[in-house]
Structure 1
Amino acid sequence: MPAAQTPRPLTIITGASRGMGLAMAEQLLDAGHELVCISRKPNAALAQHAARAGRECEQWPQDLARAEAAAARLEGWLATRDGTAHSSVTLINNAGLLPRVAPLRDIPHGELSEAIRVDLEAPMLLACVFLRATEGWKIARRILNISSGLGRRAMASQAAYCAAKAGMDHFSRCVALEEAGKPHGARICSLAPGVIDTDMQSHLRAADPTRFPDMATFVGYRDRGMLSTPAEAAARVLAYLARPDFGADPVADVRDN
C-alpha cells in the first residue's frame, strides 16, 4: 500500500496577484501550504513559483465586487474537500480597493459601491461560507482579515476605505464571540499590517493636497524610509498568523507585537 500523505495546511487568500498578497502567497507555498488564490487576474509568476515548489496552487479569476459568485464557488469547492487531508485551514481576506481620494460628496456612487463591496462585503461573505463549510473540520481553522490603521483613525477624503476597515474590525470581533464557545471554533483576527510600499501608497501620495489634507503624511512615510517592502510585511503578517495566541485579540496591529 502507498504511504499515507502527510496532511498539509490549506490557505485561501484574496488579492494574491500583486503586492503583499503575492508575497504572502509565495511565502506560504515555500512553507508547504496548498493555496487557493482569488484575484481579478491570475499571476503567471505565482503559478511558476508553485510548480517549482511542487505545491498545489489554484488561481481563480474573480472580481470581488461580485462577491456572491466568489463565495458560492468557495463554498462549493470546500464541500468537496476532505478536512482530514489538511493540518489546518485558513482564509486570508487581503484584497482591497481604494476609490478616488476625495471628499465623500465628490465620489461617484458606483465607485463607492464597488469599494464597499470589495473591502467589506466580500470579506464577510467569504468568511460566512468558510465558517459554514468547515464547521465539522476538527483541525485548526483561522480567518485573517487584513485591516488598516485607517479603520481606527478617521481621515478626510478616505471615508469609504476607513468605514470598510472599521467594519472589518467590528465584524471580526462579532465572529470571535460567536466562535469562542465552540469545541472547534475558528480563530479570527483583523490585523493592521503597517505601512507598505504598494500601489495604494503611490495613489495616496499622488492625490491633490487641496482635497486630501493628509497627503504630506504619506509622502513623509516614503521620504523617511518608513515603508516596508511587500515581502517584509508579508513575513511579519504570516509570523503573527502562526502565533499560538492568534485570535486572542480579534483586532490587532502587527506593529504592536
Structure 2
Amino acid sequence: MSALVWISGASAGIGAALAAAVPFPDARVIDISRRGGTPNHLKADLSDPADWIRVEDHFTQELAAYDGERVVFIHNAGTITPIGPAGGTDPDAYARAVLLNSAAPQVLGAAFLRASAHLACERHLVMLSSGAAKTAYAGWSSYNAGKAAVEQWVRTVGQEQPVDGCRVIAVAPGVVDTGMQAEIRATDEESFPAVARFHALEESGALTTPEDAAAGIWSLLSRDLPNGSCVDLRDL
C-alpha cells in the first residue's frame, strides 16, 4: 500500500473530489462522514464529541502496525449553517457549528498526530481553511471564527514538529462551486448582507470547480512549504 488516506466530509463537494483524485497508486482511502462517499467509510458525526473518540480509536488501530510509504489526513468537513447574526440563530445549531468548525479540527488533528507519531514514513495533515479566516462577514460568525482557529492551530502545531515530523498545513481553496455555495446564495440579505457578492461570483463564472480545487490541494503535498503554512490556492 503506497498510502493510507483519510478525508473527512468526502461524501460531497471538495471532499468527494479529493477522494476521486488521490494521486497515490494503491492508496486506501477512508471517508469520515455521516453519509459516506467512498467504499471505505467511517461513519461519524464530527459535530458530536462522542464520535471524536471513535475517530481517534480508528486512527490508532489503523496505524499501529502500518508499514506503507505515507499517511495523510485531510480535514475537510465543516458547515456554514447557521447563517445569521450570532445572537439570532438557533442555539443548538450554533453550538454544533462551533464544535464542527472550531473544536473538531483541533481534536482530530491532535489525535492523528498522536496515532502517527511512531511512524517513520511521510506524514501529512492538511486542514481546509477559507478566506473567511481573515475576512469577517456579518452572518458567518461561527464559520469565520472556526477557520481562523484552524489557521492559528496549524501555525502553532507546525512550529512544534521536529524536522522529521508530520507536515501540517492549512489551505483555502477559493470560492468553489459546491452545495455550500448554493446554500450561501439562497440566504436572504438580512441574514447575510454580503450575499450579492456571491451571486455576482457565480454569474461571472468566477467559481472554481471542486475538481480544480482538489488538484490544487493535492499539489501542496509535493511543494516545499514551511511546516505550519497557511496558503490560499488563488495566491499560488
CA–CA separation in structure 2 for the residues paired with 1:68 and 1:184: 32
Aligned CA distance change for structure 1 residues 211 and 79 (closer, same or farther; 3 Å): closer
The answer as to whether partners of 2:8 and 2:77 remain within 8 angstroms in 1 is: yes
Runs of 4+ residues over 4 Å off in structure 1: none
> Aligned pair count?
236
Q: Deviations over 1:201-231 (max 9, x none)?
A: 1111111113321011000110010111111
CA offsets per residue over residues 222-249 of structure 1, 9 Å max, x none? 0010111111111111112332x14445
SS in 2 for 1:85: coil
Cα shift at 1:19: 0.7
Letter in 2 for 1:35: V
Structure 2 unmatched ranges of 5 or more: none
Instruction: Read off the aligned partner of 1:215 and give its amino acid letter.
Output: V
Of 13, 19, 23, the match for 2:13? 19
**TM-score of the superposition, structure 2-length normalised?**
0.93
Q: Which residue number corresponds to residue 126 of structure 1? A: 108
What SS class does the counterpart of residue 213 from structure 1 fall into?
A: coil
Instruction: Rate the CA distance shift 1:150–1:132 in 2: closer, same or farther, 3 A.
Output: same
Q: Residue type matched to 2:167 in 1?
A: R
Question: 1 CA distance for matches of 2:58 and 2:187?
Answer: 41
Aligned equivalents of 1:228, 1:80: Cα separation in 2: 34
Match of 1:239 among 210, 213, 219: 219
Query: Structure 1 residue 161: deviation in Å?
Result: 0.3
Counterpart of 1:65 in structure 2: which amino acid? Answer: S
Distance 2:175 2:155 in 1: 23
CA distance in 2, matches of 1:83, 1:186: 17
- Structure 1 position 172, deviation (Å): 0.6
User: CA–CA distance in 2 between the matches of 1:40 and 1:255?
Assistant: 30
Correspondent of 2:55 among 48, 56, 73:
73
Distance 1:209-1:94 versus aligned 2 partners, 3 A rule: same
Alignment partner of 1:207 is 2:196: no
2:128 maps to which of 146, 150, 171: 146
Q: Partners of 2:213 and 2:104 in 1: how far apart?
A: 23
Residue of structure 1 in register with 2:231 after alignment: 252
**SS at the partner of 1:119?**
helix
Shift in Å, 1:84: 5.2
Look up the equivalent residue of 1:103 and give its one-letter code: P
The residue matched to 2:74 in structure 1 has which SS?
strand
- Offset, 1:29: 6.9
Q: Which of 198, 201, 204 is matched with 1:221 structurally?
A: 201
**RMSD between superposed Cα atoms in Å:** 1.8
State the TM-score, normalized to the length of structure 1.
0.86
- Secondary structure of residue in 2 paired with 1:86: coil
Deviations 1:11-55 (A, max 9, x none): 111000011100100111774321121011123xx43xxxxxxxx
